[in-house]
Amino acid sequence: MPIKKIGIVGAGQMGSGIAHVVALSGFDVAVNDLERDRFDKALSSIDKNLTRQVASGKIDEEEKKRTLARIKFAESFADFADADLVVEAATEEETVKRKIFVALCPYLKPDAIVSTNTSSISITRLAAATDRPEHFIGLHFMNPAPVMELVEMIRGIATDDVTFARTREFVDALGKTVAVSEDFPAFMVNRILLPMINEAVYTLYEGVGSVDAIDTAMRLGAHHPMGPLQLADFIGLDTCLSIMQVLYEGLADSKYRPCPLLVKYVEAGWLGRKTHRGFYDYRGDTPMPTR
């Protein structure tokens, strides 16, 4: 059976972005979060992003209204009883995700697919926390989900062929391109991207260059759309650190050791754009380097 109704756990940056993409593609979507205020903020953000799409001519006003009408708040996991697919988009912490799956699964119909938007954690290990490892799969949307064309699909050791086929058909319906990854720490995109960011932080830590010099060098010298430290702030330094820790612990290779400066910034609560300070200070009109 084709996937029709979607549930999303988490109304943060990724959850709201995925809801935007899913609803715009014609699917009904229910979004659950611990706080109704977070859902309301997410819906406001989706509204603003859709307005930009209208202004650029990508969609019209009627399409925007229909998209917003498809997004509902799920007060509890019981509201996912008729969902064909539930996407977990909570914080990048394994213990949190496992608790969500344990609480979620009893409310789902037997053939419902459970997926995770984790950017680094073992799909096989997360699937083991559910009552349906054969119906569990990794769907790693890139950030920001409405803009980025790629979705990494990752099978756990128990994921069956029907689950993979149904989920791939769903991703295709979103207009996204699929890249299939094996279930190794950080998969493909972040296994390549995050060590580069970590190396940029080491370059700063060792005094080879300033924040501005490093980002300028990579924008103009490697033609990256944004510098690695600017990108780290956009991703969230806590998320960057979490992924590097998964790589370091999962692959036991010293080349993945998180830079001490990255650890220090996270300990300070300077997590990037979401806290208004990271490698740049965003509290003024123009972002200013903090080192």
Q: Using CA atoms, how far apart are residues 270 and 232, in angstroms rounded to an integer?
A: 11
CB count within 10 Å of CB 19 equals 31
Task: At 64, list the tokens.
Answer: 């925007």
Q: Using CA atoms, how far apart are residues 256 and 197, in angstroms rounded to an integer?
A: 11
DSSP string, 203-260: HHHTTSS-HHHHHHHHHHHS--SS-HHHHHHHH-HHHHHHHHHHHHHHH--GGGPPPH
Task: At 94, list the tokens.
Answer: 């394994």
b/e code 170-203 from CB counts within 10 Å (16+ = b): bbeebebeeeebebebbbbbbbebbbebbebbbb
Any idea what the Cα angle at residue 10 is, between residues 132 and 155, rounded to 5°?
35
> Residue 231: which of 245, 249, 214 has the closest Cα?
214
Phi-psi region of 108 (alpha: psi -120 to 50; beta: other; left: phi over 0): beta
Place of tokens 């209204």: 65
Residue 185's contacts (CB-CB under 8 Å, 6 or more residues apart) are 120, 122, 191, 246, 247, 249, 250, 251
Hey, which residues are catalytic here? 119, 140, 152, 190
